[in-house]
Amino acid sequence: MTEPQYLLEMDGVSKEFPGVKALNDVTLQVRTGTVHALMGENGAGKSTLMKCLFGIYAPDAGEIRMNGRKLHLPDSRSALNGGIAMIHQELHPVPRRSVMENIWLGRFPMRGPFVDHGRMFRDTEKLFEDLNMDLKPDTIIGNLSVSQIQMIEIAKAVSYNAKVIIMDEPTSSLTGNEVEHLFRIIGDLKKRGVAIIYISHKMEEILRISDDVTIMRDGRKIGTWPASELTTDLIISRMVGRDLTQRYPNRENVPGEVVLRVEGFTSPFPKSFKDVSFELRRGEILGVGGLVGAQRTELIEALFGLRSVASGSMLLNGMPVKIRRPVDAIRHKMALLTEERRVTGIIPVLSVLENTVIANQKSYARYGFLNEARRREDTERHVGRLSVKTPSMKTLIRYLSGGNQQKVLLARWLLTQPDILLLDEPTRGIDVGAKYEIYSIIADLAASGKSIIMISSEMPELLGMSDRIMVMCEGRLTGIVDGKTATEEQIMRLAAQHSA
């Protein structure tokens, strides 16, 4: 009997949800000991395909084979037993239990009727040693950083002796050094014959570590190519179905008078932001750059009243204001789009309509009743204005793609008619086509006179969208540069400059 050419084959997989054909006759073939990138815009079907592979969804048609043998995957345990592991983008550890308990959860080593903690400790130590991970098995997982938890999830996948490991946006929360460590682990796994299915929107990562690239669009497979034959522009054009010659829209905003002046903002916590002063002009996009730990998010959350301030002052249109909580910020016509839309943005169990109107609910109340007609009218107007793709206003927001969820959150805040928008990583986890749409919305808002502070960890995004760029390092403002003339090197120098 001849050895099968592929380790994993998904053949003719289809999946339909009410009103949505999520997958249409998709085929995927993955070779042993390779990194197979899976790419496409949000809503292209990547996650649905992987959930079919991991037993979360049952496909309506098609079959899955491992080493030529058909697999029946009614649930995730069957997938794990079949040699398939998945590291999800959203991590859900048991925070009050140890690292080793999280790794071996549901399959603890036993000695008679009792858990064999000694063996579990030794097995975890050996696992970490093999993967060159500097972690202690008995550490409580709630005390670890997101990046460390990500590494533990990788160790957990390896502990199942998985032959195929699915990694969904594995570097979204990692620093540069941690990404390099992850890539070394992926290299070691390849040498052991493990295949990695790698989902990411980061083109440079895909081109660097992938052997093969499959691109999907609208629930269909467009094709599979050797990574060596692809370029960023080729990937983009195949993902979106057109040449995207311009990554950023032309901006017509003209910054005017100062609308916000911040003086000496300092956190009560010693390792947070210190003595930060800056100005924001009407119709301006002020980018905020810096490395992990720069305290950018903490600063804008303090501006919005989500964090306390030990000292410093804020002037809005020349008048001193005190913002102690978000309701104060909203009253002063400020809005905050948070970094983690799934955690602190969307309300997944509510519809598109409810997610859109929730920050403006008071305006619809009269005599103890909500004006449903106005709520529906406002939602339809803003959803239409921002080109949100949704089957209906009653669709639960969790079923929308990341880019469309982000547009709904923008619509939510636009309903409050803000003058100042604080945008924290507005395009994180969003594909290149949806990114352009978000950029166009931001550019239009600035052109209409809205003032925008935009945090971004993507250097091209900062340079492509900002009028000025404020750079922070370890809580301090290290410089403000002109967005038109700034370079990546200049921003990186400021981002690594430890004193103002």
Same domain, 284 and 214: no
Please state the rounded mean pLDDT for residues 408-419. Answer: 89
Could you tell me if 65 and 188 lie in one domain? yes
State the pLDDT at residue 311.
95
Which of these three, 181, 212, 240, is where a domain ends? Answer: 240
Which of 85-94, 208-217, 237-246, 252-261 shows the lowest mean pLDDT across its residues? 237-246
Residue 247 within any structural domain of the chain: no
Chain mean position to CA 70: 34
Residue 248 domain-assigned (yes or no): no
Same domain, 297 and 218: no
Confidence at residue 42, expressed as pLDDT on a 0 to 100 scale: 66
In a domain, 302, yes or no: yes
2 has pLDDT over 60: no
- Residue corresponding to tokens 């929730």: 358
206, 240, 274: which is the final residue of a domain? 240
Segment 408-415 shows an average pLDDT of 88
Q: Do both 182 and 327 map to the same domain?
A: no
The mean pLDDT of the chain is 88
- Give the end of a domain, one of 240, 270, 293: 240
Confidence check: pLDDT of 243 > 80: no
- Mean per-residue pLDDT for 127-135? 86
| CATH number of domain containing 343 | 3.40.50.300
Binned at pLDDT 50, 70 and 90, residue 1 comes out as very low
Residue 444: predicted pLDDT:
92
User: pTM, whole model, 2 decimals?
Assistant: 0.63
Average pLDDT of the residues in 95-118: 89
In a domain, 355, yes or no: yes
pLDDT at 499 over 70: no
pLDDT in tens, 51-61: 999 999 999 99
Q: What is d(CA 474, CA 432) in angstroms, rounded to the nearest whole number? A: 30
In this predicted structure, the answer to whether residue 3 has a pLDDT above a threshold of 60 is no
Does residue 456 share a domain with residue 374? Answer: yes
Q: What pLDDT, in 10s, does the model give residues 298-318?
A: 999 999 999 999 999 999 999
Number of domains in the chain: 2
Calculate mean pLDDT across residues 444-453. 95
* Residue 286 and residue 421 in one domain: yes
Judgement on whether residues 236 and 262 belong to the same structural domain of the protein: no
Identify the domain containing residue 382 by its residue range.
258-495
Residue 249 maps to a domain:
no
Task: Give yes or no: residues 218 and 291 share one domain.
Answer: no
In a shared domain, residues 204 and 306: no
Give me the percent of the chain exceeding a pLDDT of 90: 49
Statement to judge: residues 315 and 419 lie in one domain: yes
Mark whether 163 and 215 lie in a shared domain: yes
Residues 392 and 449 placed together within one structural domain of the fold: yes
Residue 96 lies in a domain: yes
What was the pLDDT predicted at 270? 85
The answer, yes or no, to whether residue 500 has pLDDT greater than 50, is: no
Asked if residue 2 is part of any domain, the answer here is no
pLDDT digits 0-9 by tens, 204-237? 888 999 999 999 988 899 999 999 999 888 887 7
Please check whether residue 246 lies inside any domain of the structure. Answer: no
